[in-house]
Structure 1
């Protein structure tokens, strides 16, 4: 079990009783049939169940395989109607690059969705526009570290859905062509694999990030920072603290990959590595849980290991964040509407093992994480067991929750790509990074 898990009953039920959970939902369904049609958002739907169908708007940012699986989860909700025959979810997908701008605009403009996906790292930034749902949750049987990421200043601002750390993905066929047999379970083995691929195949051994573009590599650099026992900010998140040895060592290693080690080209074109992983011209990369949907499409055997890719690292750490579901504030929002929204969010996170077993994310809800559905899935042995072990062993390094800066803004990370492209010396790039983040958090 991972931290925060509780022993399950022999019949496989969670520690909250099924009758209690269904009882409250049946009450809400009955209330909806009797008059919850007065809730904001109730609309008539042509050809639907009647003129008082309650529609919960749900905004997501998932694309590709993630998006397909989330769509199937919402289709399941709308078929089964677990909160009542008159309650339906309207899923709307916005591309990642537009999602948070659209969500922020909707919250400030007074017309937000009922529920929406938010990374845990954004919660403090959006805190004032979110409902504190501490009194609405039916269960807190989630992995404690993931649940904690949804708590700010004593309040609960989201329902946790998963954790999505990063790890090492590789082309097993290329490794074997180079004379190397998996697993890649230490840095010396990783270095041996890279050098053997470079010498014995036509492929490039390793590129740390599939998404270089203008600001890629930040997950990998943050992972190295933590593996070298460094920190990014002070406790108040008002000053960058990565300008010393740990931050410099992390970037120095990344720059050496495209420099003196020769394991990759000093090319930060946006899609170069993603294409190379697909066509077999690049053997290994580091990416998140979601990458399994890409790797499963390839026509070669692929493998995965914990990210032991930094030399002389003091500890194993993986960069992590969590997908959560939030309830935005909106004018004239009733307590009943909040409760219905939270119930829908809990159903999405608690009743759908496919988010782990097919999408590859590490489920936050303990009964799913410890379920036979997940542990007997193909992805458990492939990736999820390793991710779960890292969670259990305290090896996930979560992004800081900043109140006034965006951890994912590429403009704050260009110093990493400048160093990787061999355009800026490492020491100068780290100084630029400290200056950029000090400006961002002021």
Structure 2
């Protein structure tokens, strides 16, 4: 049996001259609201045919299998023409990707937010077109704030204010106050850890990604915050059940939760949910304003069977997907990477603009995104960071947890160097 979404035929098939047209095979991993929005985008392309007689064949592969199948397909030269890839993982695939450089001109860069565009460059090669940024923010339930006697129009801006808000919620309501993750997953806890650690002046690794740097006083302070949140402070329960905090927040039993851009689109669909979001610049000992961010990108896998004209068509499709679809922001909740989309009336007049997207846009323009590092190992492997979940749930102490995590991650680094 072949790979899901993969076949032995050329993905770009047909002959325009014969009237059969051209098909561009596009692999994605999106599900839920993201999946429905991307399906709508592709359907619009196929209906309107903005590039002439060109169609997109969208193949969705489940998240848990996606990168394994992409890798296997690319090694066998049976990959798609274009594919979604998280920017943090591009480094692992860089030898299997075709740089965009030969197929775009100097004006292409101006179509995207500069910081996002530059993030896709490796040794002078443009290995991806950015689709979005998906940073994290601090979402809060306005009704819980009001019940606690807090002003829902004045969310906290530093740790002193943040601690006061959380303590007040616990004292004055039956709700829990704060959770750094909606899914209670190690990767989500890592994202909040990165944001808070960077705010204190710390970082996960040294600049050349050869040494762990989070097992230090900055990292220990954030680990202690996780431990105190479910212990000394009593802001949440030391319970690592999946999605427990997400359910609590949506049910009005949690005041503040950290999550990515997509969460705004989820909350917007809930009848009676009075929510908002603030910039998560509330780490103890904050020196700088940072939030963590990832980015979905579209890459161009290497294919010996694809000629230059076919590759150029695939590039034009990738440009259209990344530059012409404001609903990736208005419906999926992500911050589009294309400059004109961030400035479009469709985005700025959407319900999500005032609540979340405008704040994410401000952070992007002020270069306040700390990206998940582009490590040579799979930084998105949840088990690598499960020590953070153990710290939060009191299965280990902050110091012991960080030491274990640093040893594990340093071992992964050493294995690939």
TM over 0.5: yes
Q: In structure 1, what is the equivalent of residue 248 of structure 2?
A: 276
Query: What secondary structure sits across from 2:400 in the alignment?
Result: helix
Find the residue that maps to 2:58 and give its secondary structure.
Answer: strand
- Which deviates more, 228-237 or 345-354? 228-237
Q: Using the TM superposition, give the Cα deviation of residue 137 of structure 1 relative to its aligned residue in structure 2, in angstroms.
A: 2.2
Residue 283 (structure 1) shift: 2.0
Residue 255 of structure 1 aligns to a residue whose secondary structure is: helix
Report SS of the residue matched to 2:109. coil
Structure 2 distance, partners of 1:71, 1:89, is: 10
Quote the Cα distance in structure 2 between the aligned partners of 1:306 and 1:40.
43
Q: Which residue of 1 aligns with 2:335?
A: 362
Match of 2:197 in 1: 225
Distance, in Å, in 1 between the alignment partners of 2:14 and 2:365 is 45
How many residue pairs get aligned? The number is 399
Structure 2 counterparts to residues 76-87 of structure 1, below 5 A: 76-85=44-53, 87=54
Matched, 1:377 2:347: no
**Aligned to 1:408, which of 377, 380, 394?**
380
Q: Alpha-carbon deviations, 1:418-441, whole Å to 9, x = none?
A: 111111111111111111111111
Q: Distance in 2 between matches of 1:408 and 1:222?
A: 13
* CA deviation after TM superposition for structure 1 residue 51, in Å: 6.8
3-state DSSP class of the match of 1:58? Answer: strand
Which residue of the partner structure matches residue 166 of structure 1?
136
> Residues 39 and 336 of structure 1 are in contact (CA less than 8 Å); yes or no, is this contact kept in structure 2?
no
Cα distance in 2, alignment partners of residues 289 and 372 from structure 1: 19
User: Which residue pairs with 1:394 in the alignment?
Assistant: 367
String of CA shifts for 1:174-214, please: whole Å, max 9, x gaps: 11111111231323332222112111221111111011146
| Structure 2 residue 263 is the aligned partner of structure 1 residue 294 | no
Q: Call closer, same or farther: CA 1:432–1:274 in 2, change over 3 Å.
A: same
The change in CA–CA distance for 1:383 and 1:356 in structure 2 (over 3 A counts) is same
Q: 1:215 to 1:423 in 2, by over 3 A?
A: farther
| Partners of 1:55 and 1:215 in 2: CA distance | 36
Q: Output one character per residue of 1:213-237: Cα deviation in whole Å (capped at 9) or x when no partner.
A: 4654111111111111112112221
Structure 1, unmatched stretches of 5+, are: 1-37
Q: TM-score, normalised by structure 1?
A: 0.87
Greater CA drift, 149-158 or 180-189 = 180-189
* 2:150 paired with 1:177: no
1:246-325 correspondence to structure 2 within 5 Å = 246-298=218-270, 299-325=272-298
Task: Report the Cα offset of residue 50 of structure 1.
Answer: 8.0
Name the CA distance, whole Å, in 1 between partners of 2:188 and 2:120: 26
Distance in 2, matches of 1:382 and 1:56, equals: 36
Cα gap change, 1:289 to 1:117, in 2 (>3 Å): same
1:134 aligns with 2:134: no
What secondary structure sits across from 1:57 in the alignment?
A: strand
Please give the root-mean-square deviation of Cα atoms over the aligned residues, in Å.
1.8
- Which of 310, 314, 336 lines up with 1:337 in the alignment? 310
Distance 1:349 1:215 in 2: 26
The answer to whether 1:350 aligns with 2:323 is yes
Describe the superposition over 1:312-357 as per-residue Cα deviations: whole angstroms up to 9, x where unpaired: 2111110011110001112322111211111000001111111112
Structure 2 match to 1:53: 21
Q: Give the structure 2 partner of residue 204 of structure 1.
A: 176
Cα deviation code 1:104-158 (max 9, x no counterpart): 1111122111111001111111000100111212511211111111100110111
Q: How far did residue 95 of structure 1 move?
A: 2.3
Structure 2 length-normalised TM:
0.92
Structure 2 residue matching 1:167: 3-state secondary structure: strand
